[in-house]
Amino acid sequence: MDLLNSFIVGFGAYLSGSMILAVTLSIASYFVIPKLLGGHPKNWKNAPPGPAGWPILGSLPHLSHRLHEDFFHLALIYGPLFSLNMGIKPAIVVSSPEMAALFLKEKEGMFSSRTITEAILVVTYDAHSIIFSPYGPRWKALRKILITELLSPKAFEQFEPLRTKQVHGLLKYLYLISKSNTQVNIAESAFTALANLVSNILCSKSLFDNSKPEGKKMKEMFWEMIKVLGTPNFADLIPIVKPFDPQGFKRKVRNIFDQLDAFYEKLIEERLAERKGQLETTANNEKMDMLDVLLSYRSNDKENGLDRFSRFIIKGMLSEMFIAGTETTSSTVEWGMTEILRKPRIHKKLLLELDQVVGKNRFVVESDLPNLPYLQATVKEVFRLHPGVPLILPRRANEACEVAGYHIPKHCIVYVNIWGMARDPKEWENPLEFKPERFIGSSVDVKGQDFNLLPFGTGRRSCVGWPLAHRMVHYYLAAFLHAFEWDSPPEILNDMNERVGLTLQKDKSLLSIPKPRLPASVYEL
């Protein structure tokens, strides 16, 4: 019921007497009509099994803000594919690798669209971004640019010095902090370094400098936007209340968005002014950042209806990459450090491997990572138990269709509960145990081909930035563990409660005092 509390409080202030009467009669009918009919009807004709909800509210009164947990428990009752109504919107929940393969691989074309919330529409400029664009010419053009300019083997190699600079710069900063025996917020440290990495890839600037007021303000704005995006908005599920904005949700989003929009506009205008004064840059084949690439886009495919990108598309891409490229990775690093520091046996094995491969006279570099098999297995285990987005990003049925013998209505929301699958004893032995050894000698990977491990999704709508996120989780964990011992308060280290937002974060942030493991000369180079 706690999912409904904020809605009820806000909505009560806006309801007219006639609306209260209508809602009351609708809810009362929930108890009267089933008795006349001899039981509760299905959610829709030939729907998968599932809890039949209330009129208007659907199953919302029975759900909390921890949907991944609620869906996990409902799957134990109704099976790996069940139905429910989220407000007035039909939804299905997929809870097994077999069902996930059916919806995301065999029937992928039918479920290639996203479910888009009101907040996402605002932040991505009416879905002008790669994650939320409808499948079509715009999405294909954006995906091609990202893969070619950012994630191709050549581009990935070109950005390696930048990644190394950010990681090693953070280690040197932590070394200075260690001299004062001060606690470090690991997730916040990783977030800031990742945000600066992303901002350098996008616009060749470090925009999140904690030593400058504007850098702190930038970080605060993005943290606030991430918090708001992770808050359920009932107007998305019960459209009749949209004009009333009962939770004040749209006002909150707009307030933060207006500040970010002004920031994106400033970035674009500054770059356009620079380009006017430096027309020879492209001719000299100098490396362009992503903002240059987006501003320079010209389509040679006349049939795709997209000659060049509008400013909405460019700002939508900037917004999406800043948010998606930071929060999920930093929270995964925090969970990884927490699990490792709680398990002395695993921690010791990782340090032994790191010292054998890297030694103690330099920092970890990316070329070390392929030679660290126990670290790789540990990261897979982190992704298994702590996926950044526990329900992936909800898909939507493009058309009404039949799947597994059931009717799926048009625009039905499709949730895939990868968090729940990681806790299914049918799929994993001792699923709640953090055990990297389960991946030693295993071919199971996170690339989207193994449907029991899908932290980045799968298929055409998988996370296009997964190679960067995958690399950085390995890099940060290796660098943190190799360069420092960490002293954490037991009450924080052993608190494994989750805070639900845009991602699954650790409820009590991991605070730890870094203590250097390497000679001082390594940090002072």
Per the annotation, binding residues are 463
Distance CA 19, CA 267 (A): 46
DSSP 3-state of 353:
helix
Q: By the 8 A CB rule, do 446 and 380 touch? A: yes
Q: By the 8 A CB rule, do 309 and 297 touch? A: yes
Distance CA 304, CA 479 (A): 44
DSSP 3-state of 43:
coil
What type of residue sits at position 151? Answer: L
Structure tokens at 21: 């009467």
Neighbours of 356 (CB within 10 A): 10
Binding positions for heme are 463
Q: What are the backbone angles phi and psi of residue 449, rounded to the nearest 5°?
A: -95, -20
Distance CA 193, CA 476 (A): 10
Distance CA 291, CA 269 (A): 11
Distance CA 193, CA 300 (A): 37
Helices (H), 422-465: none
Structure tokens at 519: 């000679």
